[in-house]
Structure 1
């Protein structure tokens, strides 16, 4: 009888610990998304439901969670948002879809986005992002779709991206990229139109030649 009670108490204790860990996890995700909200200007009030006092962000509009209340989608495409992204986004380790296309977002893309190893689709096209494409994107081992077109990105195309074996669709057109276009790994099947309208970007690399121009910034 004592043994049964002891096992029952242990089971309840384990469940309580699991619930607390889940709560802490979802709170950290909510904190990260609320940090994003604070960095954005939202004239259409699409983020009005993003209330940081709630237990988790799973009831917020434009946020999707899985059965464990972990954020897996953020859908804010064509939402008339301006402002910049925040490094706190790197907390969203279960995020699969980050859709922020067709807004007026500015500034650099945080390197912390490279921590999102569950990410399948990263759509940042038709914004005003500047700076280089983070080399940390090479760690996005689940990435299938990478669309960065129609921004003001500069610098080289990170060679780390070629090692993402899942990568199927890439669009970096209409930026200010420089250097040469990689042709190895996942980039071997990409069409030239994926890189068009980058006036400082040269043609595909030739094996055995130096892949970068020293003046490329």
Structure 2
């Protein structure tokens, strides 16, 4: 009986340890950033310090954290990176600044970026990003700066962006957007040259009404 009890105790210990260890060794923000690192080609080794074995990513270069060790900034502009963005970035719920401009990032903008409710600045300009601007970015109610210019984006400008009252700067010039330029909310004050060099983009909308081009895809 004693031997059997010992085996039961040992089995429970192993199961308990397997449940506890991932929580102790994992960090969701570090995991999200490391997923980004894995998706990038980094010839200049700017991400060399991004070590997934650390407790949190606050000691990594180009990452800033607040006093509670939550990631608030990712500064990787002009870093000679190529690859694509990853949906895991949407887990950085305290992120305020995502600076990835002037790289060679390709692929689409993940819809999960709409989960970054504290985001103030989204700078993805001067890359090779394609696809549509996700309507989920309209959920970013703290957003002030949205710079997506000089990419390969297509489709319409999401009308959900017009509901972001904090938005001050929108630049989507030099893409392949289509449809019409919103004229309500923050778009009332955005200069038209921030929309230029989109051959299929028209506007602004008359009387704030959304006019959709059936060929805008």
Instruction: Give the TM-score of the pair, scaled to structure 1.
Output: 0.88
Is residue 213 from structure 1 mapped to residue 195 from structure 2 by the alignment? no
Distance 1:122 1:207 in 2: 29
Secondary structure of the corresponding residue to residue 150 of structure 1: coil
In the other structure, the counterpart of 1:155 is: 155
Distance 1:29 1:51 in 2: 12
Is residue 84 from structure 1 mapped to residue 87 from structure 2 by the alignment? no
In the other structure, the counterpart of 1:72 is: 72
The superposition leaves residues 4-53 of structure 1 with CA deviations (integer Å, 9 ceiling, x where unpaired) of: xxxxxxxxxxxxxxxx9xx8798100000000000000000000000000
Contact 1:180 1:203 (C-alpha < 8 Å) held by counterparts: yes
Gap runs ≥5 in structure 1:
1-19
Shift of 1:214: 1.2
The superposition leaves residues 72-103 of structure 1 with CA deviations (integer Å, 9 ceiling, x where unpaired) of: 00000000000000000000000000000000
In the other structure, the counterpart of 2:12 is: none
Structure 1 moving runs of 4+ over 3 Å: 23-26
The superposition leaves residues 108-142 of structure 1 with CA deviations (integer Å, 9 ceiling, x where unpaired) of: 00000010010000000000000000000000000
The superposition leaves residues 143-201 of structure 1 with CA deviations (integer Å, 9 ceiling, x where unpaired) of: 00000000000000000000000000110000000000000011111110110000000
Distance 1:24 1:147 in 2: 38
Instruction: Give the TM-score of the pair, scaled to structure 2.
Output: 0.88
Distance 2:208 2:73 in 1: 41
Gap runs ≥5 in structure 2:
1-19
Distance 1:40 1:200 in 2: 31
Pair 25,197 (structure 1): closer, same or farther in 2 beyond 3 Å: farther
In the other structure, the counterpart of 1:184 is: 184
Taking only aligned residues, the RMSD between alpha carbons, in angstroms, comes to 1.6
Which deviates more from structure 2 when the two are superposed, residues 30-39 or residues 201-210? 201-210
Secondary structure of the corresponding residue to residue 27 of structure 2: helix
Shift of 1:57: 0.1
Pair 24,136 (structure 1): closer, same or farther in 2 beyond 3 Å: farther
Distance 1:148 1:73 in 2: 18
Distance 2:93 2:126 in 1: 25
Pair 91,208 (structure 1): closer, same or farther in 2 beyond 3 Å: closer
Contact 2:180 2:210 (C-alpha < 8 Å) held by counterparts: no
